Structure 1
Amino acid sequence: MKKALKVLMVEDDPNICELVQLYVEKEGYQFITRYQGEKGMEAYYEEDPDFVILDIMLPEVSGWEICKEIRRDNPLVPIIMLTGKGESYDKIRGLELGADDYVVKPFDPNELIARMKAVMRRANLLDATKEKIELNSLTIDMKQYKVYLDGRKS
């Protein structure tokens, strides 16, 4: 059975969260949202999301800080910045901090989903939704990036 990818959105506007949630869940992904930066960081560590969507201007902790912290913890988890800050230097800063893509509000939810899928393809998330792949005596743990042969780590 395929595991649903977990998407965490940290955004202080409930209307935007609700809109994105409709599109994300339509794709079959699990959706988690937090409205404050600090709560978003807590959710990141508690929920272990497969994908993160971040606003920049958040209460308590900015999206910039969250992006930096996530990158320190896991350089591979895909991050899209979804924000009203559309100046070139803001986009460059977001990408330099480790965001995989940068979408400016107002946005088309279909474009956001298409960008998410493109980032997921590059991160091999669309094909790697199984936690373990087993072939005879070979087991590949996709979540922990480990390979076992006859039950022994190789």
Structure 2
Amino acid sequence: MRINIMVVEDEESIRKFIKINLDREGYAVYEASSGEEALEIVKNEQIDIAILDVMLPGIDGFEVLKELRIKYPKMGIIMLTAKSQDTDKIMGLEYGSDDYMTKPFNPAELILRIKSLIRRLDFDSDNKNILEFGPFKLDLSSREFYKNNVKIELTRTEFAIIDLFMSNPGKAFDRDQILDIIWGVDFSGDGKVVDVNIRRLRSKIEEDPSKPIYIETIWGIGYRWREED
């Protein structure tokens, strides 16, 4: 299967530079110089991964990200942020991006991040099992997640984390283990990406995210999925 990647970047030199490197890897590349153009592309093309700059003319990258997450929850999204803007990284993760790159960046690292994300897109895609726990059901075939028979939309990364947890109830994972399993051992980003994704998951599945029942924090270690009583 050929992966379709959309590069959303208003600086033509950067956009073309990214495209050249993606072309060399055999990806199908779509280019957009604005958020509005990107949203038009996704209406007509099956985009698997979006590389999305934060600073765009007109609709900014965060607004594009929020709309993509609502309409295309399974799309992989990598945000491009300015070197000094840590808040942009956190906001992007909070809004549902799977990863981020700080400009300027090495194109080889971007390719590694994309390959790591592709592994997550295909996470257990051949597994036909259904995992059930209390009110939850995780369908690994259709890649859908339900609570009390109501479907909950998860990003690819969130789905992979839930799969990891529900497949290993009661097992504590530290942040480095989660990073290695979900993001890949070659991931060189900030470990806070784990905490941000856990916080997003809790907001979707817990009755009171401030007092989580299912995704437990193990102080000094990391997180685990609560074992059934």
Q: Using the alignment, how far apart are the partners of 2:74 and 2:84 within structure 1?
A: 25
TM-score normalised by L of structure 1: 0.77
From 81, 84, 99, the equivalent of 1:83 is 81
Q: Using the alignment, how far apart are the partners of 1:64 and 1:15 within structure 2?
A: 22
From 65, 69, 72, the equivalent of 2:70 is 72
Displacement of 1:48 after TM fit? 2.0
SS at match of 2:101: strand
Count of residues in Structure 1 that have an aligned counterpart in Structure 2: 127
Residue 52 of structure 1 pairs with residue 54 of structure 2: no
- 1:75 counterpart letter in structure 2: P
SS at match of 1:93: helix
Provide the residue aligned with 1:119 in structure 2.
Answer: 117
Contact 2:83 2:104 in 1 (8 A): no
Q: Using the alignment, how far apart are the partners of 1:75 and 1:27 within structure 2?
A: 25
Question: Structure 2 regions of 5+ residues with no counterpart?
Answer: 127-141, 144-229
Provide the residue aligned with 1:93 in structure 2.
Answer: 91
Q: Using the alignment, how far apart are the partners of 1:25 and 1:31 within structure 2?
A: 7
Displacement of 1:83 after TM fit? 2.5
Displacement of 1:76 after TM fit? 1.3
Displacement of 1:98 after TM fit? 0.6
Change over 3 Å in CA distance of 1:77–1:90 after alignment to 2: same
Displacement of 1:123 after TM fit? 1.2
**1:90-145 per-position Cα deviation (integer Å, ceiling 9, x unaligned):** 111000101100111011000001001111101118x89xxxxxxxxxxxxxxxx5
Q: Using the alignment, how far apart are the partners of 1:113 and 1:32 within structure 2?
A: 16
Displacement of 1:30 after TM fit? 0.4
Provide the residue aligned with 2:25 in structure 1.
Answer: 27
Displacement of 1:38 after TM fit? 0.5
Q: CA RMSD in A?
A: 1.9
Tell me which stretches of 4 or more aligned residues in structure 1 moved more than 4 Å.
none
User: Larger deviation: 77-86 or 35-44?
Assistant: 77-86
Question: Structure 1 regions of 5+ residues with no counterpart?
Answer: 129-144, 147-154
Q: Using the alignment, how far apart are the partners of 1:37 and 1:102 within structure 2?
A: 17
Q: Using the alignment, how far apart are the partners of 1:32 and 1:122 within structure 2?
A: 21
Provide the residue aligned with 2:160 in structure 1.
Answer: none
Displacement of 1:85 after TM fit? 5.5
Q: Using the alignment, how far apart are the partners of 2:65 and 2:53 within structure 1?
A: 10
Q: Using the alignment, how far apart are the partners of 1:25 and 1:8 within structure 2?
A: 12
Q: Using the alignment, how far apart are the partners of 2:99 and 2:85 within structure 1?
A: 14
Q: Using the alignment, how far apart are the partners of 1:58 and 1:100 within structure 2?
A: 19
SS at match of 2:17: helix
